[in-house]
Amino acid sequence: MNDVTHPVIELKGVKKYYGEGDATAYALQGVDLSIHPGDFVAIMGPSGSGKSTAMNIIGCLDVPTEGAYRFEGINVEDLSRDQRALLRRNYIGFVFQGFNLLGKTSAVENVELPLLYRGVPAHERREMAMEALRSVGLEEVAHHTPAELSGGQQQRVAIARAIVTHPLVLLADEPTGNLDTAKSIEVMELLRSFNQEKGITIIMVTHEKEMAAFASRTIHFRDGKIDTAAIPEVTS
């Protein structure tokens, strides 16, 4: 499905607004954005800048009011709700600030969840989940519940859950927001390794410049637009 000569994600003139007339509230005001396979992009901006709305659209959790969103050349805004859900399930992984793990469920069972939704047989599901946990260095705590894990370990379990389906794109929303500096760096190094070694395209929202420095490109949002006045930050 992937063609390296074209963007995996492309927003063209994307607007998102709510209400009508004088009551209209704009979350996005004409965003153009291209993200290519293998990119690691950090998205920054103050609260209310539109970055979370853009991430929801990219993650197929919402659709533009105007403009076009193409994922691998597919016009996402033309898809039905069920078709968008299939696209999410098959091609996109999610990592959240709050981990979003099931509290009474073991680490390996948490990682298995996306595979369960796909209908993967139990034996294959367990093998894939254990391999994902090995890839984040947590095979030894596979049968521990989240309460028995540190915050950094919980986020690594959440990353394992996000990559167990081998997604084309990984969306990370403030993935280090609940972690101390040492654990944050640990998580960011892990994400960078998945980007560089597995070729997973990563788009990450963060408020922290230190975490954005792990990305290869930083995009700044302000007032519902990409802030072209911001100095581009490119790291190696």
Position 230 scores a pLDDT of: 64
CATH class of 37-63+85-226: alpha beta
pTM of the model: 0.89
Higher pLDDT pick, 13 / 100: 13
pLDDT at 83 over 90: yes
pLDDT band at 3 (very low <50, low <70, confident <90, very high): very low
pLDDT at 73 over 80: yes
Question: Do the beta carbons of residue 9 and residue 185 sit within 8 Å?
Answer: no
Give 99's pLDDT tier (boundaries 50, 70, 90): confident
Average pLDDT, the chain: 91
Q: What are the boundaries of each domain within the chain? A: 37-63+85-226
Cβ atoms 167, 135 nearer than 8 A? no
- pLDDT band at 22, cuts 50/70/90? confident
Tell me what percent of the residues of the chain surpass a pLDDT of 90.
83
| Helix residue spans in 68-217 (DSSP H) | 81-91, 107-118, 122-135, 151-163, 181-198, 209-212
> Mean of the pLDDT values across residues 97-112?
92
Residue 14's pLDDT is: 96
Predicted local distance difference test score (pLDDT) of residue 228:
81
Mean pLDDT of 206-224: 95
Over residues 88-114, mean pLDDT: 92
What pLDDT does residue 85 have? 92
Burial state string for 142-173 with b = 16 or more CB within 10 A and e = fewer than 16: beebbeebebbbbbbbbbbbbbbbebbbbbbb
Report the pLDDT value the prediction gives residue 5, as an integer from 0 to 100.
Answer: 62
Task: Please choose, from the candidates 126, 121, 151, the residue with its C-alpha nearest in 3D space to the C-alpha of residue 139.
Answer: 126
What does residue 65 show for φ and ψ, rounded to 5 degrees? -75, -40
